[in-house]
């Protein structure tokens, strides 16, 4: 009888253990070295979308224009985990492009940076690394110590860098974002929050710095003469054609997140996924959005002849015309098949009267698509044109009487 009882008890123990391993309380160790409790992460399938998305929120954007092509709960405030580092890398990239720092600069590790937990390269206080090495550690290995040290170097202190992050977020129109660190670690905060849309905005801004993809597209690298290995936490870098980045993030509060960018045939897209229950779900959701974008859209840049508006006649001005500044016409994401239906209009004020201020809007270039999307580019004054004075009129009249012709043509020569 005892043998039977022991046998039944063993079966019951095995069943219970199996249930605990495979049930909702299972702990899943993600690639950033952070444990995620699946019971704390909801993974609903987004409805009414052309693709299957398993996440709390998601957005698909076209990079050159920032246009949203697909969205799901895009403005829900959520923990971003290490996707935060996109803003960290953006501020570093801007500092480099503005010649405030260089990639070759050597940075000495602080005690604060060395103390950061989670994913790291185990920096020691007093250790020296270049900005290039720290950027590689941040972009590829998602190292919290490296990201913190970069922030301290750019702003002078960790808090100073956090202030910079939030200030830049406001400038970019990231209206639902609050950063409390440069890493995305959220174990001691409930207010380090952002949205899929805001992540998309800062991702688009980061990708304007072309050199950043030299870091975000690397699958494997090393530091310290090969002693420290770096493996990209973004698996799409290795397995998805055209990937340009960008950053993953995983914590118990955030779930699995990713901002995944890719470029094909000139079309550059970024897919943001927040709050997936597993790593596979975030990558599959991102791939589904990217695949849909590449299947349904193309990169379109209209050819616009602007020579006729390089100079515009000005009435009653001390000079006969004003030179214009015409913005670069960026590419747009156009639905496939709509290329032939795009309408371009150039409209300028034909009755311009002095005075004209530098930067004053003189006209507009509008681009309309068959889907009724409209893009506008302002034509502005390159220089100031002052109003004719009474003395100017007298001089011009005398010149006309003496020479028998006007001082300047009625229309500018824009050839």
**For 86-117, what is each residue's pLDDT tens digit?**
999 999 999 999 999 999 999 999 999 999 99
Which tens digits make up the pLDDT trace of 317-333?
Answer: 888 899 999 998 888 89
pTM: 0.82
Q: Are residues 196 and 237 in the same domain?
A: yes
Q: Report the CATH number at residue 106.
A: 3.40.710.10
Catalytic residue flag (residue 142): yes
What is the average pLDDT across 138-159?
Answer: 98
Counting the structural domains of the chain, the total is 2
The Cα–Cα gap between 261 and 246 comes to 6
Distances (CA, A) of 353 to 84, 95, 356, 363, 378: 50, 42, 7, 14, 18
Q: Are residues 286 and 222 in the same domain?
A: yes
What is the average pLDDT across 370-386?
Answer: 92
Return the pLDDT at 35.
40
Of 43, 64, 85, 119, catalytic: 85
Q: Report the CATH number at residue 354.
A: 2.60.410.10
Mean per-residue pLDDT over the chain, rounded: 87
Q: 250, 266, 299 — which closes off a domain?
A: 299
Cis status, amide bond into 246, omega within 30 of 0: yes
pLDDT at 41 over 60: no
Q: Are residues 240 and 326 in the same domain?
A: no
Return the pLDDT at 290.
98
Of 142, 259, 276, 279, catalytic: 142
Out of 159-173, 274-288, 363-377, least confident range:
363-377
Q: Are residues 291 and 313 in the same domain?
A: no
Which tens digits make up the pLDDT trace of 175-189?
Answer: 999 999 999 999 999
Catalytic residue flag (residue 285): no
Q: Is residue 342 part of a domain?
A: yes
The Cα–Cα gap between 191 and 162 comes to 13
CB burial of 5-34 (b: ≥16 within 10 Å; e: otherwise) equals eeeeeeeeeeeeeeeeeeeeeeeeebbbeb
Of 43, 64, 82, 110, catalytic: 82
Q: Is residue 41 part of a domain?
A: yes
Q: Are residues 163 and 226 in the same domain?
A: yes
pLDDT classification of 395: cutoffs 50, 70, 90: low
- Strand, coil or helix: 287: helix
Q: Is residue 6 part of a domain?
A: no
Q: Are residues 254 and 356 in the same domain?
A: no
Q: 240, 265, 299 — which closes off a domain?
A: 299
- Strand, coil or helix: 352: coil
Q: Are residues 293 and 323 in the same domain?
A: no
Q: Are residues 108 and 214 in the same domain?
A: yes
pLDDT classification of 350: cutoffs 50, 70, 90: confident
Q: Are residues 281 and 361 in the same domain?
A: no
The Cα–Cα gap between 130 and 139 comes to 14
Q: Are residues 369 and 336 in the same domain?
A: yes
The Cα–Cα gap between 42 and 30 comes to 16
pLDDT at 368 over 50: yes
* Residue positions counted in the chain: 415
Return the pLDDT at 302.
87
Q: Across the strands, what pairs with 54?
A: 45
Q: Are residues 151 and 291 in the same domain?
A: yes
Catalytic residue flag (residue 203): no
Six-digit token pair at 381? Answer: 């004054």
Q: Which structural domain, as residue segments, surrounds residue 202?
A: 27-299
Q: Across the strands, what pairs with 298?
A: 334
Q: Is residue 199 part of a domain?
A: yes
The Cα–Cα gap between 29 and 33 comes to 7
Q: Are residues 315 and 292 in the same domain?
A: no
Q: 299, 316, 336 — which closes off a domain?
A: 299
């Amino acid at each position: 009888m005892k043998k039977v009882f022991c046998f039944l008890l063993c079966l019951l123990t095995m069943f219970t253990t199996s249930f605990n391993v495979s049930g909702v309380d299972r702990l899943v160790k993600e690639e950033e070295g952070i444990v995620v409790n699946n019971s704390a992460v909801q993974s609903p399938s987004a409805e009414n979308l052309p693709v299957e998305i398993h996440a709390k929120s998601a957005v698909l954007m076209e990079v050159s224009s920032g246009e949203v092509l697909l969205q799901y709960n895009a403005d829900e405030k959520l923990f971003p985990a290490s996707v935060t580092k996109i803003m960290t890398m953006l501020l570093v990239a801007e500092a480099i492009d503005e010649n405030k720092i260089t990639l070759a600069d050597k940075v000495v590790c602080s005690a604060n940076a060395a103390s950061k937990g989670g994913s790291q390269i185990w920096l020691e206080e007093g250790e020296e690394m270049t900005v290039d090495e720290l950027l590689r550690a941040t972009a590829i290995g998602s190292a919290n110590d490296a990201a913190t040290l970069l922030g301290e170097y750019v702003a002078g202190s960790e808090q100073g860098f956090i202030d910079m992050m939030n200030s830049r977020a406001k400038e970019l129109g990231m209206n639902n974002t609050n950063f409390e660190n440069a890493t995305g670690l959220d174990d001691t905060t409930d207010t380090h929050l952002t949205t899929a849309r805001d992540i998309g905005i800062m991702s688009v801004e980061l990708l304007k710095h072309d050199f950043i993809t030299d870091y975000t597209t690397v699958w494997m690298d090393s530091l310290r003469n090969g002693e420290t290995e770096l493996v990209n936490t973004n698996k799409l870098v290795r397995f998805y054609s055209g990937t340009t980045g960008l950053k993953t993030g995983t914590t118990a509060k955030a779930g699995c997140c990713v901002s995944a960018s890719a470029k094909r045939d000139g079309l550059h897209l970024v897919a943001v996924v927040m709050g997936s229950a597993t790593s596979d779900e975030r990558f599959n959701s991102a791939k589904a959005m990217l695949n849909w974008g590449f299947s349904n859209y193309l990169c379109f840049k209209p050819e616009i002849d602007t020579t006729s508006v390089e100079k515009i006649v000005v009435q009653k001005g001390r000079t006969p015309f004003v030179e214009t500044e015409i913005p670069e016409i960026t590419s747009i994401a156009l639905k496939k098949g709509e290329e032939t239906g795009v309408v371009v209009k150039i409209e300028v004020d034909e009755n311009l009267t002095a005075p004209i201020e530098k930067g004053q809007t003189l006209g507009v270039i509008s681009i309309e698509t068959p889907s009724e999307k409209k893009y506008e580019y302002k034509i502005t004054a390159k220089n100031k044109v002052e109003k004719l004075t009474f003395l100017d009129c007298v001089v011009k009249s005398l010149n006309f009487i003496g020479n028998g012709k006007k001082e300047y043509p009625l229309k500018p020569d824009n050839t």
